[in-house]
């Protein structure tokens, strides 16, 4: 069920498995304020629906900002997510090594405590999200 939709982002929630699906938006220099607002909306919905599982598909998004600026956006998003009751975050990875490196750096710098795994396809990510909770990993 679609719980939010904008020009940048659609939040699709499956209450049966308590999974929120998002397709990571394209990131361009002039869209940074909108991206930050969209990610804040994701966090607000995770909090208000008390969502435990998040799947982020980054395979189709483009990145047209510096890698360091992207890392700062990710760190803010990660810090905000840790203030929720989210337990698992599954990412379907990009083929961009620089992006993947910045994601790992951001995760380590903020000491991201939520179970985070990266997958090459949606099926594996869903299998993990539908499995036992993060506390039993």
Closest CA to 99 of 74, 126, 124: 74
Q: At 44, which CATH number?
A: 3.30.750.24
59 has a pLDDT exceeding 90: no
| Highest mean pLDDT (candidates 25-39, 62-76, 84-98) | 84-98
36-45 pLDDT, tens digit per residue, is 999 999 999 9
Q: What pLDDT score does 132 carry?
A: 82
Q: Rounded CA gap, 47 and 71, in Å?
A: 23
Q: Quickly state the pLDDT bin for 33 (edges 50, 70, 90).
A: confident
Beta bridge partners of 19: 14, 53
70 has a pLDDT exceeding 60: yes
Confirm if 42 and 13 have CB atoms less than 8 A apart: no
Q: Rounded CA gap, 87 and 91, in Å?
A: 14
Counting the structural domains of the chain, the total is 1
Q: To the nearest whole percent, how much of the chain has pLDDT over 90?
A: 60
Q: What pLDDT score does 30 carry?
A: 61
User: Cα dihedral sign for 20, 25, 31, 32?
Assistant: positive
Range of the domain at 48: 2-136
Q: Quickly state the pLDDT bin for 29 (edges 50, 70, 90).
A: low
106-120 pLDDT, tens digit per residue, is 999 999 999 999 999
Q: Rounded CA gap, 62 and 118, in Å?
A: 18
86 has a pLDDT exceeding 60: yes
pTM of the model: 0.89
Per residue in 41-63, is it b (16+ CB within 10 Å) or e — as a string?
ebbebbeeeebbbbbbbbeeeeb
136 has a pLDDT exceeding 60: no
Dihedral over alpha carbons 111, 93, 57, 45 (to 10 degrees): 0
Residue 24 DSSP one-character state: P
């Amino acid at each position: 069920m679609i719980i939010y939709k904008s020009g940048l982002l659609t939040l699709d929630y499956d209450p049966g498995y308590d999974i929120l699906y998002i397709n990571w938006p394209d990131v361009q220099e002039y869209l940074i304020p909108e991206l930050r607002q969209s990610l804040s909306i994701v966090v607000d919905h995770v909090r208000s629906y008390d969502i435990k599982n998040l799947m982020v598909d980054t395979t189709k998004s483009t990145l047209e900002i510096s890698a360091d600026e992207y890392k700062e956006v990710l760190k803010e998003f990660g810090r905000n997510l840790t203030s929720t009751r989210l337990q698992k975050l599954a990412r379907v990875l990009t083929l961009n090594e620089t992006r993947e490196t910045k994601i790992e750096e951001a995760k380590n710098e903020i000491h991201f405590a939520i179970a985070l795994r990266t997958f090459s396809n949606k099926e594996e990510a869903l299998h993990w999200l539908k499995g036992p909770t993060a506390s039993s990993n």
